[in-house]
Chains A and B, each alone.
Chain A
Amino acid sequence: METSNATPPTLSIRDLRVWFELRRWGFGHVGDVRAVDGISFEIRPGEAAAVVGESGCGKSSLMKTILGLYKPRTGSVYFSGEDIHAQGRKSIHAYRANVGYVQQDPFAALPAFMNVWQILEEPLIIAGGHNKANRQDRIRQVLEEVKIHPIEDFLPKYPHMLSGGQLQRIVIARAMILKPRVIIADEPVSMLDASVRVEILRLLRGLQQSHNLSFIYITHDLSTVKYFSEYIFVMYAGKLVEKAPIGRMLRNSSHPYTQALLSATSDPEAMNARVYKEVPSGEPPSLVNPPPGCRFHPRCSKCIHGLCDVQDPPEIHLTPQHQVACWLYSQR
């Protein structure tokens, strides 16, 4: 992503830190939860990037900061070159029309008391600038794009009348309705059945390509990433440990944590039942008191004592597009 690509990035994140203050009895500072700790990346129009990490690694905090829901402690989110927090609430309001958000759980993401029509009309009313006929046209258009048909049958339906796959399509329609330039999808298929997952992923990929959207796909499932994005960012305990284009990541993963994730992902083959997997023991560290040095070192089998457990690993460029934060590669 550091290559001198002609198109400027849609979204640029620079040294973002999102810390949550811990207070005792409501006052008095006792520490910070460092959910996101120094993350930078850029996404250009038409690119999709997957952020992969386990629960508690800070990927949701990262996403919510990009959506403008949390204010970063330091660092900024730039959209089309402008800091989204620079002009206070007004700039955030304008920015929000440009980012769509696809929630993880379609069963909980839609209000139970609104029908499909009301759900999709509300963002248009809030954003303003549409009369009733306009809104009607846009709703029909977006429902066609997410392949809900017959449209007329669905408009008066309430969420409980729809299946998981249909609900997720409505969630996607709601994210798309203001014609955003960025879509953030938080595990969009993890709550859906296997047979529907691929259908929804293809729909998202199709929308991303036909509208030239920038896409951030947050997931823990590496096997779906391949079909979906150009880049993978691997996140561990608040930091990005490896960034690479998808093909290179699958062939030449470099960080021990990425390698562990890849080897833990199984393909459906009968031989899996006969072998034990090599998995790093232990659990991700606390984000209040992260271990010094590399945050993965207590679980890492290749840990260099006296280095990995003392100093933060540098970010090393293996190729212009492949970066890894690991001491193993610092001699190159």
Chain B
Amino acid sequence: MTNQPLLEISDLVMHFRTSQGPVQAVDHVSFRLNPQRAVVILGESGCGKSSLAKAILRMLPNNIGAYSGKVFLNGTDVMSLGDEEFRRSVRWVQMSLVPQAAMNALNPVIRVGHQVAEPFMFHNSAQRKQAMELVKQMFHYVGVPADFISRYPFELSGGMRQRVALAMALVTSPSLVILDEPTSALDLLTQSNIMNVLKRNKAELGTSYILITHDVATSSELADDIAVMYAGQIVETGDAEAFFGQPLHPYSKMLMASVPRLRTDVEPDFISGQPPSLISPPSGCRFAARCPSRFDKCTLEPPSAIKEWRTVKCWLYQ
């Protein structure tokens, strides 16, 4: 493994403007991802994990408030690039996205083969004939029958549409693919099939992933590293082995305890209370109100403590 990380994000901020004030969806997020690794961003709905994906790919909504920070991809600062430059040389060339509910993200009036070919034709200035050859290979690779190329999205099942969306993200052979809840709308067996494709792709082509999900059990299928997000901030990062063995942050601990398990007889627990509003989050630790081990210091913003290659944003580890 090289010393240079594939992706390094530091202090990324993305706020939305609303009539009630700025929504701090992504608030000073930092993490790094090494080549050929997969990092899982774990978090509950509304914690800002999908916004983080949009912030990394610079797919900004109209009501964007603050947007700052540094994103280094293969050593270049992509935040300093202009929009057009970013579109030409980064988005879908070096990193691509499989959107949430990818099954509904396809254009209903264009044949799926043409949709998958389009990014390749655009970025590699290829002819359609050449692109369709590649699409055929991609379809074979992700497990879509070759004769589906000339079908429309409505003629495909959910699992097949998800595979098509995956083929579209992989067709330009990017080094990083961001997967936003790629399997949450799918059936169990289809989910496992797609996870197998993702694993094979990582092993054979060396693609890195950022997997964004709320499903802890499924996330373990792909995870090398874990980053836990709560209320717009990353509260813990670490190696998957260490994290699943022993989570450190009180939120991660409770989140892991809330996962029902099939093979062991531990009674799952739940986290009472609700995550704070991102419009006016509490000062200090954002989890303090629900945390069983809070103490006086928690009213102050906790620093990120580093403990054996893991970071925890919690006063307990100071």
Contact = CB atoms under 8 A, between A and B. Distances in A.
Contacts of B38: 273
A266 B223 CA distance: 13
B260 A277 contact: no
Contacts of B267: 227
A264 B191 contact: yes
Contact of B270 (A163, A164, A196, A281): A196
B216 A268 contact: yes
B221 interface: yes
B270 A279 contact: no
A88 to B, nearest CB: 38
Given A194-B216, A227-B267, A277-B196, A269 B189 contact: no
Given A220-B187, A227-B268, A273-B222, A264 B45 contact: no
B90 interface: no
A169 to B, nearest CB: 13
Contacts of A277: 192, 195-196, 221
Contacts of A227: 260, 267-268
A265 B262 contact: yes
Given A54-B188, A267-B262, A270-B244, A198 B274 contact: no
A270 B241 contact: yes
B278 to A, nearest CB: 14
A276 B188 contact: no
A270 B258 contact: no
B66 to A, nearest CB: 27
Interface string A275-288: 01101110100000
Which interface class (under 10, 10 to 19, 20 to 34, 35 or more) fits B? 35 or more
Given A195-B270, A273-B223, A266 B187 contact: no
A227 B256 CA distance: 16
A80 interface: no
Interface string B228-245: 000000000000110111
Interface string B242-271: 011100000000111011111110011111
Interface of B: 38, 44-45, 143, 157-160, 187-193, 195-196, 199-200, 214-224, 240-241, 243-245, 254-256, 258-264, 267-272, 274
5 closest Cβ pairs, A-B complex: A199-B270, A195-B271, A54-B187, A193-B44, A264-B192
28 contacts: A54-B187, A54-B188, A195-B44, A195-B255, A196-B270, A197-B258, A197-B270, A198-B258, A198-B269, A199-B270, A223-B262, A226-B262, A227-B267, A227-B268, A264-B191, A265-B217, A266-B218, A267-B217, A267-B261, A267-B263, A268-B219, A268-B220, A268-B259, A272-B221, A273-B221, A277-B195, A279-B193, A281-B193
Given A270-B245, A283-B190, 14 more contacts: A54-B189, A193-B45, A194-B259, A195-B270, A195-B271, A199-B270, A223-B259, A223-B262, A264-B189, A267-B217, A267-B261, A273-B199, A281-B143, A283-B159
